[in-house]
Chain A
Amino acid sequence: MPELLQFAFSGLTVGAVYALVALGFTLIYNASDVVNFAQGEFVMLGGMITVFLHLAGLPIPVAAFAAILITVLVGLALYAFAIDLARGSGAVQIIIITIGASIFLRGVAQVIFDKRFHALPAWFGSEPIRLGGAAILPQSLVVLAGAALIVALIFLMIDRTILGRAILATATNRLAARLVGIPVRRIVALSFALSAAIGAVAGLLVTPITLTSYDVGTLMALKGFAAAMLGGMGSAPGAIVGGVLLGLAESFGAGLISSKYKDAIAFLIILFTLFVRPQGLFGKRSTERV
């Protein structure tokens, strides 16, 4: 029994990060129909910039705040210099641009930072909390709380603010949104900024547990993408549920079945979702536009 609890803690922590990455995918996908494969690099930037600003002597909260800010600027630059310039092209071309941007960001990070792994100190120490025979790190609770807070803020914003309504309108029907006077391009830019911020926060929250390096983004993006697919591309609650489910599936899979195929679980989930329920758990069945 305690081992099941341990698997659950482990799965929830990892799953919370997948959920945040999936949420980033969802925001951009809703606003622009684009799957942004540079989403994982936002996570990397959040962690790496915090590490290096901290090494340069800034206290962690300041470094973290600056990291979020810089990552948002990178997200905006990605939109302005890569996505917006190609806005006449189809979704597939733009998706390929985001893959290129992801490789580019990784390369730049490798040059500006270095190729080593880095850790950050945990916020509340690294003495684990024992609970029912299982051990959970205080930082895991920080990750879970941080993820919950971000999700709550995003949902509140979309539900309660005029800006959120504009995002919703853009997601529903871009042409109609433009006709009623919503600045669609600015909304899409905003979605990139928000996604970048979410990714950066995920990165700096989780770095004390998982460590970071210039190339952690690739796997992060794949796992986040699998989570978003499972939940249903374009559904924000789906992204959260998909992320947590994927994290739990991985940790229970590794613990109960075999640790050899842990990474395969994400890809099996993508395949299974595509075969059985292509719209995902929460997605609406898409209809072909004629």
Chain B
Amino acid sequence: MSMLTGMSRRLALATGIGAVMAAAPAFAQGEIKLGAVLSVTGPASFLGDPEKRTLEMEVEALNAKGGLLGRKVRLIVYDDAGDANAARTFATRLLEEDKVTAMIGGSTTGTTLAMVPAFEDAQVPFISLAGAIQIIQPVKKWVFKTPHTDTMACEKIFEDMKKRGTVKIGMISGTDGFGKSMRDQCVGVAGKYGIEILHEESYGPRDTDMTPQLTNIKNKAGVQAVINPGFGQGPAIVTRNYRQLGITVPLYQSHGVASKQFIDLAGPAAEGVRLPAAALLVADKLPDNDPQKKVVMQYTADYTKKTGQPVSTFGGHAFDGFHIWKQAVERAGTDNPAKVRDEIEKTKGYVGTGGVVNMSPTDHMGLDLSAFRMLEIKNGDWTLVN
């Protein structure tokens, strides 16, 4: 009995493989191996999960159209669950066992920085999907990244404040990696915009009540606006507590919470909150002449159709990383790591979900402040601030 089921299963499997083989286009030579170490589960899963889905969707679409340079692309994904040590192990496995010729991934700054030495040593291009500026400054020969940096988010916010005549602010930041990094960047560039931080508070990543900290900010005389670097549920609770205490000065959130989920969690308290975010978030609200309109509308349609979930900027970073790599391989005419690296560095005028990318030997990200749009939440939805 068991032998029979075993045999029929094997038969079914064989037929299945046959069917797939028949349907797939004919591919030349070997596969092109693309690696991805992502935080698909664990605390950073909201980054890794859409990134993985996006890469899988794009690779599938590419192979259905005949692959890259006539060769099939094989995507090898490992889940580091947000653990930097696991990420380093998987990076070594990708390089030594799977022998990938490029890597897109590193969902968080921590996992990315843990993997950088492995790719620098092996001389394989590595496009990171994490935020911190340390990833590309100082420039590392083999390392690139697609998301904007925290510094740019701070600068975008300060630009908006300056326009409105705000100079004295309060700051409440999360003590997680993202919150801390962005806090440091904001403090660093505040002077450049003539912004003075009068009072500073922080909260832990799992805190459920920030009213004591916000009470202190509220009682600080002269605060004209408050900025909250952080991601996850923390900023949603900050926003709720902010309204609970009846603080009336404007509240700025970061790009870290630029997802519909933030509006859902913060509820009516989110009304009037301002934040910088990628164009992807307001795809349908962009004017038709916006250069990014086409690509973000297309990605949004594809992703929602494929996964049944709303798009996030994080999946968009993976989309950009994949296409920058794909175009570099096409231009190089090979997947040779050194040649692909040179072509990635020469990326000019690539219009992606995160902005228009112009890389150079000194800039391995290639985005400027125009990549960020200033948004305000009105009636439970994003609106563009001009």
Contact = CB atoms under 8 A, between A and B. Distances in A.
B246 A130 contact: yes
B213 A259 contact: yes
B267 A219 contact: no
Q: SS class of chain B's interface: helix, strand, loop or mixed?
A: helix
A6 B245 contact: yes
B46 A210 contact: no
Interface stretch (A30-38, A84-92, A226-234, A248-256): A248-256
A115 B81 CA distance: 12
Contact of B215 (A130, A255, A263): A255
B207 interface: yes
A117 B202 contact: no
B203 A116 contact: no
B2 interface: no
Interface residues of B, number: 35
A39 interface: no
B286 interface: no
Nearest to A260: B202
Interface in B207-266: 207-213, 215-216, 219, 232-233, 236-237, 240, 243-246, 261, 264-265
A137 interface: yes
Given A130-B246, A135-B245, A211 B215 contact: no
Interface string A73-85: 0000000000000
A117 B232 contact: yes
B211 A10 contact: yes
B204 A115 contact: no
A40 to B, nearest CB: 12
B41 interface: yes
A13 B244 CA distance: 14
A119 B261 CA distance: 10
Contacts of B236: 117, 119, 211
A118 B237 CA distance: 12
A117 B203 CA distance: 17
Nearest to A11: B212
B209 A209 contact: yes
Given A7-B215, A260-B202, A251 B265 contact: no
Contact of B265 (A10, A117, A252, A259): A117
Residue among A121, A206, A209, A259 having the largest count of chain B Cβ atoms under 10 Å = A259
Contacts of B212: 6-7, 10, 251-252, 254-255, 259
Given A7-B215, A210-B237, A254-B212, A262 B204 contact: yes
26 contacts: A3-B216, A6-B215, A7-B215, A13-B209, A110-B41, A115-B45, A116-B46, A121-B267, A126-B240, A135-B244, A135-B245, A135-B246, A210-B237, A211-B236, A211-B237, A219-B206, A251-B209, A251-B211, A252-B212, A254-B213, A255-B212, A255-B215, A255-B216, A259-B201, A259-B202, A260-B175
